[in-house]
């Protein structure tokens, strides 16, 4: 397609989120907030494109929209037109009717009602001289050619005007170069935009804007996810201390996600953050299998050490089997290819790496966490009451025939 002389062609992939942008990459809006004019805005856009072409972080930079094109300008001498008795309304009517069209009336024809449309014939409106031969009616109803009070000249002007949030703007689109994340590309565009003349600034739109807004809330979202899991466990065990031994395994899963993404060179994007939130629940799931049994064994009278060790032995095979089934199920996402594969690989790699470390290290450290937490909170009245109730319940069940 590079052989086509009358066009610039860019091949882009569809956006990961439908209807949010026209393709992959970022959407940049260069704004003229100082009223410098279209020519200055065009020069600033060209300067911005020149700087991006020299950056190793960016690729595929292109402007969106129609470029400036030749236009025919009609200059009207107001004094001559007024002296000839031609009003601006008459000039506008003559131009719009001849170059465009004008509806006159309807007439019946063969049982059908058809419209009468007046317009200059195509060969009579092709050249600038044809425009000057158009007649406009003066105040006496006499036709006056436009050549009597008007002249034409060729100029260059915008084919479309774009505004963003009320300011004249230019649309720019690009992608991060191979080896760089979308966050690196956004930071690079902001750095380059700071070198533009005064009065020119920028705004993000589409998926880029959503990425910036969501990036600042990612830590809050992860914190609320941890809180939700902790409160659910607290309600399950009717204790504030036992869920701590479960939640301590979450950093092990996050560590595996970070290592897997780093080894594959994947960016810390929104899809990777989705995987991190998923790992919070998946890592806690394995720990729950051990802690649940350890809690019941301790209620039967065993020490925290004996209860945790036996629970790890009892639940080792189920944990390994369920974890392997999940890891193999996520493997197609981690090695995906084709349309949408970038987001699939980001989520699959993070979840798969987190599950591997949460499983391998979890069966080793979760019993340790349970013993340590039980030792730290053994003096708490609430914990002693929970243990006593559990022991009484176990004793009552053991005394039944």
Q: What is the pLDDT of residue 21?
A: 64
Q: pLDDT at position 391, please?
A: 55
pLDDT of 50 > 90? The answer is yes
Cα separation values, 248 from 72, 251, 290, 366, Å: 73, 7, 13, 8
Q: Indicate the Cα dihedral angle 31, 34, 38, 39, nearest 10°.
A: -110
Q: What is the mean pLDDT of residues 108-136?
A: 91
Determine what percent of the chain is predicted with pLDDT higher than 90.
Answer: 31
**For 259-290, how does the pLDDT look when each residue is reduced to its tens digit (9 = 90+)?**
998 888 887 777 788 888 888 888 888 888 88
Cα–Cα distance for residue pair 350/221, rounded to 1 Å: 17
Specify the pairing of strand 143-145 against strand 150-157: unpaired
* Distance, CA of 29 to CA of 290 (rounded, Å): 54
At residue 24, the pLDDT reads 73
Specify the pTM: 0.58
Q: What share of the chain has pLDDT > 70, as a percent?
A: 91
- Top mean pLDDT of 15-29, 108-122, 303-317, 331-345 is at 108-122
Q: Which domains does the chain have, with CATH numbers?
A: 26-67+160-214 (3.30.70.1440), 70-157 (3.30.2090.10), 217-399 (1.20.1640.10)
| Average of per-residue pLDDT values in the chain | 84
Kind of pairing, strands 135-137 and 143-145? antiparallel
Work out the average pLDDT over 320-346. Answer: 85
pLDDT band at residue 170 under the 50/70/90 scheme: very high
C-alpha–C-alpha distance, residues 63 and 55, integer Å: 16
Least confident piece of the model among 24-38, 80-94, 160-174, 233-247: 233-247
């Amino acid at each position: 397609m590079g052989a086509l002389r009358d066009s610039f062609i860019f091949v882009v992939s569809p956006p990961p989120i439908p209807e949010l942008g026209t393709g992959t990459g970022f959407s940049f809006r260069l704004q003229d907030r100082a009223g410098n004019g279209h020519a200055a805005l065009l020069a600033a856009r060209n300067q911005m494109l020149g700087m991006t072409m020299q950056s190793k972080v960016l690729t595929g930079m292109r402007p969106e929209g129609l470029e400036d094109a030749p236009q025919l300008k009609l200059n009207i001498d107001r004094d001559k037109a007024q002296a000839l008795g031609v009003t601006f309304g008459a000039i506008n009517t003559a131009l719009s009717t001849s170059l465009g069209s004008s509806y006159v009336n309807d007439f019946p024809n063969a049982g059908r009602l058809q419209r009468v449309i007046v317009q200059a014939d195509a060969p009579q409106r092709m050249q600038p001289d044809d425009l000057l031969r158009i007649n406009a009616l003066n105040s006496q109803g006499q036709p006056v050619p436009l050549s009597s009070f008007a002249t034409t000249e060729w100029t260059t002007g915008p084919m479309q005007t774009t505004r963003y949030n009320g300011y004249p703007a230019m649309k720019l689109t690009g992608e991060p170069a191979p080896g760089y994340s979308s966050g690196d590309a956004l930071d690079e565009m902001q750095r380059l935009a700071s070198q533009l003349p005064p009065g020119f600034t920028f705004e993000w739109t589409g998926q880029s804007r959503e990425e910036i807004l969501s990036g600042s809330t990612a830590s809050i979202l992860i914190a609320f996810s941890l809180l939700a899991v902790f409160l659910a466990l607290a309600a399950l065990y009717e204790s504030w201390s036992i869920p701590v031994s479960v939640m301590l395994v979450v950093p092990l899963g996050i560590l595996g996600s970070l290592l897997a993404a780093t080894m594959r060179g994947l960016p810390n994007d929104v899809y990777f953050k989705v995987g991190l939130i998923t790992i919070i629940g998946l890592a806690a799931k394995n720990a729950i299998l051990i802690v649940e049994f350890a809690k019941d064994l301790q209620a039967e009278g065993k020490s925290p050490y004996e209860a945790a060790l036996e629970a790890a032995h009892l639940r080792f095979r189920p944990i390994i089997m369920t974890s392997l089934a999940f890891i193999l199920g996520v493997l197609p996402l981690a090695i995906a290819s084709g349309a949408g594969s970038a987001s699939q690989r980001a989520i699959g790699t993070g979840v798969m790496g987190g599950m591997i470390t949460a499983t391998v290290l979890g069966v080793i450290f979760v019993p340790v966490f349970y013993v340590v937490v039980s030792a730290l909170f053994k003096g708490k009245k609430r914990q002693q009451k929970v243990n006593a109730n559990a022991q009484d319940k176990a004793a009552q069940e053991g005394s039944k025939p």
